[in-house]
Structure 1
Amino acid sequence: MMNRNFNRRKKFIFFLPVAVLIVAVLGYVVMFLWNWILPEVAHAGKLNYWQALGLLVLCRLLFGNFNKGGGHNGFRERARGMRAKWDSMNEEERAKFKEEYKRRCGGWGHHRNKE
């Protein structure tokens, strides 16, 4: 037990500065790219370092996190589950599903049937 806690502390002491360094570098990369590209292309103002970090936080809040898989929120797992459901349906159930999908979702630019 004592050894496990010691290893956790060592990992924390190592990974905390690494995480801070990664965030700092990402902030500078965002600032550099923004100030290099957007003022000329989109006539946007220049960012300072703190604004770039704020932009990173805003993107994380709006689009998801920075971990593996991004902000998909289990999309692949739901897609696999839906595929398994579809594969287990017979032709009649598939036709019924398609009709219900058309009724609920419709096509773009088409008005839905009101019931």
Structure 2
Amino acid sequence: MNKKFAKHGFVGILIFLAAIAVFSIAAMLLWNWLVPPIFGLPAISYLQALGLMVLVRILLSGLPFNGIRAMRGAALWGKNNPIREKWMNMTEEERNEFVMRERGFHNHFHGHARGEGHAKGDDTKGKEND
């Protein structure tokens, strides 16, 4: 391991731990400011706020490095996936057209949404002819 990588890794870990500490303190302060007066629940400590942050993370997004999520991602974008192979063989223009079509912009940009293909100035569409 080179020294530059070790230094950046150490700094990254410090920043991560500092962020956890700041968010836990913020959660504790907000809880203690809002919840006891509104709901009559007790105030919480720093460690309880940290635990609450972990609990919310688990409940809202699952555990990090979730095995099922990793397997699902591998199945969708694995090397033997025909959709991935087709995407990789597309030109940039074909990819852009595919994305626009999937987002619903294909008809608009090719004039179909504006009614092109009908005679210009044809205001009789939908009116009875006399």
**CA distance in structure 2 between the aligned counterparts of 1:35 and 1:55, rounded to whole angstroms:** 13
**CA distance in structure 2 between the aligned counterparts of 1:50 and 1:14, rounded to whole angstroms:** 24
Given candidates 102, 107, 128, the residue that maps to 1:84 is 102
Letter in 2 for 1:84: E
> Secondary structure at the residue paired with 1:34?
helix
Asked if 1:58 is matched to 2:75, the reply is no
Deviation at 1:25, TM superposition (A): 0.9
The correspondence of residues 34-113 of structure 1 with structure 2, limited to 5 A, is 34-64=31-61, 84=102
> Secondary structure at the residue paired with 2:42?
coil
Q: CA distance change for structure 1 residues 19 and 85 in 2, over 3 Å: closer, same or farther?
A: closer
Q: CA distance change for structure 1 residues 85 and 13 in 2, over 3 Å: closer, same or farther?
A: closer
Give the TM-score normalised by the residue count of structure 1.
Answer: 0.52
Unaligned runs of 5+ in 1: 66-80, 89-115
**CA distance in structure 1 between the aligned counterparts of 2:34 and 2:25, rounded to whole angstroms:** 14
> Secondary structure at the residue paired with 1:44?
coil
Deviation at 1:7, TM superposition (A): 2.8
Identity score, percent: 32
If you compute each CA radius of gyration, which structure gives the higher value, 1 or 2?
Answer: 2
Q: CA distance change for structure 1 residues 50 and 85 in 2, over 3 Å: closer, same or farther?
A: same
Deviation at 1:87, TM superposition (A): 8.5
Let me know the Cα RMSD of the aligned residues: 2.7
Unaligned runs of 5+ in 2: 63-98, 107-130
The structure with higher relative contact order (CA 8 Å, sep 6+) is 1
Letter in 2 for 1:44: L
Give the TM-score normalised by the residue count of structure 2.
Answer: 0.46
**CA distance in structure 2 between the aligned counterparts of 1:20 and 1:58, rounded to whole angstroms:** 17
Identify the residue that residue 25 of structure 1 maps to in structure 2: 22
Identify the residue that residue 94 of structure 1 maps to in structure 2: none
Given candidates 1, 6, 11, the residue that maps to 2:3 is 6
